[in-house]
Amino acid sequence: MFRSRFQNITSLLFILSLSVIPLYMILPDTVTVELTTGAKVSGTILEETNSYIKIKTEGGVEGKLEKRFIQNIQREKTSAYSVLEDAEKEFALPESSIENQIKNEGSSSKPVPEELPPLADFPKEAPKIKNELPKVIETVEAEPIKEFQEVSNPKPTEEKKTPKNHKLEILVGMGLGRYQSPGEKFTDRYQDIELNTRAQFISWPLHTGSRERLSNSFELNYYWKILSASLEYNQFRSETVHENSGFRAAGLTGFTNPFSSKGSFPESQNITKGDLALLVYSNSFIQVRPFAGMLQSEGSLNDQNSLYTMLNIGTSSLPFSGIQHRQISEHMKGWISGLKLSFPLSNNWELRLESYFISLRGNRNYDAFNPIAALQPDLVTPGESTFFLSIISERVKWKSKGNYLGFQVFYHYNNGISVWLGVSSFEWRYSVETLSNISTSWQLITSEELNRQAFLNLVAKSGNPITRSQSVEVGLMRRFEF
């Protein structure tokens, strides 16, 4: 009985304590998160900081959402859950049993055993709170949950690289070069044959050579898909050294005289080329581009320093001497066709080869003004001249065929700059179409002059003079892609 009464008192004390200190459990807020993408995620906030919130959806998916991706958070108001109310319901005692127990205790000093209604045992574990709240907002479907999972760990979006179809290359180079033109050798040849035929006299070169001088180049290459266009300029320079001797007729006097000339003079050639190419084959080892275009060549020779000496003029056999003034200019242009090959040796190294056929047509102008005077005028035989003047004017129309071969080795840096080493070589052979030569060394008689011009053309056409130009250069290239 005592035990039963003790249990009743314990139950009453527990109920009174709950009434004094009400227990309430505030359930977590239910929220609906609207993302910047327009998607919505509903669930319970487990953790919230200044930079993110941790949320658990009704489907049990947990994840973090960075606040920079959140457009709006809509919070739902939830009611507090009272533990006291549940406890009173769980451990409530009937009022009649309590009143009878008090009456019996007051009526007799001896407690009368009375069987009380059974009390529910206090549960060892706290009752589980059922998290069943009214659903105000619809649950998130499967697809939005997937989107929520992806947004919880956003990946930086990669920018799509637009393919660059345009490429521009600018090349400049400088080095040593040489230009060897037909020069005076062409004129000397047919004039010597003329002299040998008409007067049985001849001249011959003792020494002719050239020295390398500074050369330079400039090139533009433009690429668009499989098409490309190039514009190139090359300048070749050299210094020609010559020493000639022989016999010449002394003009109207009829005497034959030995002569010699010695000196050096500059020669230069400017070549401009433009072409269009088509990429017909390409792999990791080679690129093949056939092309066609036009080429123009401008050559010049300017001799103002050669010393000309002639002996035994007249009966006094005195030497005459003077400085020669000779100028040669040449203009040629025509078509070219060939092949460009590119070999990517590695990520940085590249080899380029270029070869093409040349077909040109143009003209050459040669003008010589050679005054000579007696070195000792006072010893000249009275009545004979102490001064002579030789003038030559030559006009030639001719065509030529030849070829070009060149290669360049490139080292490409990652910033679009490259260094290169290149070798180039031009060569073409002439074929004379027409020639005219006016010289004061002969009397200008119409019939004889016509025969002379025909003879000179016949002799000139029998030869094939050659032009050669070579250079070795180093340079820089800048590449632009857009």
Give pLDDT tens digits for 158-198: 555 666 789 999 999 999 999 999 988 888 788 777 766 66
Which of 136-150 are b and which e, b meaning 16 or more Cβ less than 10 Å from the residue's Cβ?
Answer: eeeebeeebbebbee
**pLDDT-derived band of residue 255, with 50, 70 and 90 as boundaries?**
low
Residues 234 and 375 in one domain: yes
Residues 175 and 30 in one domain: no
pLDDT higher at 415 or 204: 415
Q: Which distant-in-sequence residues (6+ apart) come within 8 Å of 304 by Cβ?
A: 265, 323, 324, 325
52/43 Cα distance (integer angstroms): 15
For the chain, how many residues are written?
Answer: 482
23/14 Cα distance (integer angstroms): 13
**pLDDT-derived band of residue 258, with 50, 70 and 90 as boundaries?**
confident
Predicted local confidence at residue 105, as pLDDT: 53
Give pLDDT tens digits for 42-97: 888 888 888 888 888 887 888 888 888 888 888 775 555 554 455 555 555 555 55
* Residue 272 domain flag: yes
215/12 Cα distance (integer angstroms): 116
Predicted local confidence at residue 198, as pLDDT: 62
Residues 271 and 307 in one domain: yes
Of the residues 85, 119, 152, the one at which a domain ends: 152
If one counts every other C-beta atom within 10 angstroms of the C-beta of residue 294, the result is 13
* Residue 227 domain flag: yes
The separation between the first and the last C-alpha atoms of the chain, rounded to the nearest angstrom, is 101
Residues 170 and 142 in one domain: no
* Residue 295 domain flag: yes
* Residue 158 domain flag: no
Task: Please give the distance of CA 15 from its chain centroid, rounded to a whole number.
Answer: 88
204/191 Cα distance (integer angstroms): 11
Domain range for 341 is 166-481
Residue in the structure block whose two tokens are 């977590």: 28
Residues 252-265, mean pLDDT to the nearest whole number = 73
Predicted local confidence at residue 428, as pLDDT: 96
Residues 145 and 191 in one domain: no
Domain at 28, CATH number = 2.30.30.100
Encoded tokens for 422: 């290149």
Residue in the structure block whose two tokens are 């005076």: 184
Domain at 432, CATH number = 2.40.128
Residues 188 and 148 in one domain: no
Residues 65 and 194 in one domain: no
* Residue 161 domain flag: no
Residues 220 and 121 in one domain: no
* Residue 159 domain flag: no
pLDDT at residue 19 is higher than 60 = no
pLDDT at residue 315 is higher than 70 = no
Query: Does pTM top 0.75 for this prediction?
Result: no
Of the residues 90, 122, 152, the one at which a domain ends: 152
Residues 137 and 275 in one domain: no
34/151 Cα distance (integer angstroms): 12
Which of 302-322 are b and which e, b meaning 16 or more Cβ less than 10 Å from the residue's Cβ?
Answer: ebeebebbbebbbeeebebeb
pLDDT at residue 132 is higher than 50 = no
pLDDT at residue 299 is higher than 70 = yes
Nearest CA to 43 among 54, 52, 153, 234? 54
Number of domains the chain contains: 2
* Residue 407 domain flag: yes
* Residue 422 domain flag: yes
**pLDDT-derived band of residue 249, with 50, 70 and 90 as boundaries?**
low
Nearest CA to 271 among 146, 358, 202? 358
Residues 170 and 147 in one domain: no
Q: Which distant-in-sequence residues (6+ apart) come within 8 Å of 142 by Cβ?
A: none
317/374 Cα distance (integer angstroms): 10
Predicted local confidence at residue 150, as pLDDT: 46
Residues 283-293, mean pLDDT to the nearest whole number = 96
Residues 263 and 141 in one domain: no
- Provide the mean pLDDT of the chain: 79
28/451 Cα distance (integer angstroms): 122
Of the residues 152, 186, 202, the one at which a domain ends: 152
Residues 212 and 105 in one domain: no
